[in-house]
Amino acid sequence: MATVLDSVRAFFAPSFTIDRENAGDVLSRESLLDSAMGAGRRRKSSEKLRRGRIPAEGLALVARDRDGHLIGTVRLWNVEAGVNADGRPVDALLLGPLAVDPDQKGAGIGSALMKAAIVEAKKRGHGAILLVGDAPYYNRFGFESETCAHLVMPGPFERSRFLALELIDGWLAGAAGVLVPSGRKLSAPLRYRAA
């Protein structure tokens, strides 16, 4: 017999969970990204760094509703963030895209995905995360523009939207140059076709 406490727990139970992306999520993820970001999403400078690459190990996360449907996604990608003062490449991560089902906006899904991605990246020993996004949204997670002031994206981008979060203090100190992809390449190009 259900108690009042069971009813209260069910009412306050999270309406979503954060999980690792799996191969069965591909079509749902692509459909979600199309609906959340529009057709122009593939023309962004960030896409140039992701195209033909595999996300960083363990850093492709999704949010699922109680029925297991994909309602949010975030992925992080290995990049070289220019070079440091000694001329050595600076390893970093590029976050994106972060997207939430438009019908689920305001439920805390994007924030939960961001927090999970940051925690997992730090746990895996990464030094910094870069992204292109709205500063007012990403500032609350610690992202700012000063530490990436001497870095540029490989194509058009808005400087005020180019942000960084150092997971290890001083990781981006002296880093300058153009971001280039450094993650594993796909063995064959992927083609997505909606059912």
pLDDT tens sequence across 125-136 = 999 999 999 999
Cα separation, 185 vs 52, in Å, equals: 6
Which H or E run includes 77? Answer: strand 70-83
Residue 45 has pLDDT above 80, yes or no: no
For 90, residues 6+ apart whose C-beta sits below 8 A from its C-beta are 80, 81, 82, 83, 84, 127, 128, 171, 172, 175
Phi-psi region of 137 (alpha: psi -120 to 50; beta: other; left: phi over 0): alpha
Query: What's the confidence (pLDDT) of residue 42?
Result: 62
For 125, residues 6+ apart whose C-beta sits below 8 A from its C-beta are none
DSSP tag of 35: H
Of 2-6, 39-43, 49-53, 76-80, which range is least confident? 2-6
Which among 121, 96, 123 is positioned nearest to 110, based on CA atoms?
96
Domains present along the chain, CATH in parentheses: 15-181 (3.40.630.30)
pTM comes to 0.87
pLDDT in tens, 84-103: 999 999 999 999 899 999 99
Query: What's the confidence (pLDDT) of residue 1?
Result: 52
Burial class (CB in 10 A: 0-12, 13-18, 19+), 7: exposed
DSSP tag of 53: B
